Amino acid sequence: MLQSILITVLTSSGIIGIFTQFLLNRLKNAERKQQALELGVQALLRDRLIYQYDKYKSKGFAPIYAKENFENLYEQYHKLGANGVMDSIHEEFKNLPASGGEPL
């Protein structure tokens, strides 16, 4: 009787342990994928911001629609963190004249 109770408890604990380990592994994998997605989106946003900056810096001005787009991209990029040099690029882009006129 005691032996069957002990076997039942040990078996149940083993199944629960295996299930818990399975769930933890799935959670870790999901976290890794989420981080990869966030870093990938951040890299794409950074690429587009730099592209826009280079394009309009060489022209010496940026149309209003380009400034609005840049601001939207930068806002999302900034929310993802780790901005560094992009903060100064953002400031320089904001100071470009709009369509050959004054900065916005």
Provide the residue-wise pLDDT of the chain in tens; the chain has 104 residues.
767 765 666 666 677 777 777 788 888 899 999 999 999 999 999 999 999 999 999 999 999 999 999 999 999 999 998 778 899 999 999 999 997 554 44
Q: How many CB atoms lie within 10 A of CB 38?
A: 12
Question: Is there a contact between 94 and 104 (Cβ–Cβ < 8 Å)?
Answer: yes
Counting beta carbons within 10 angstroms of the beta carbon of residue 99, is it exposed (0 to 12), middle (13 to 18) or buried (19 or more)? middle
pTM of the model as a whole: 0.74
Q: How many CB atoms lie within 10 A of CB 61?
A: 16
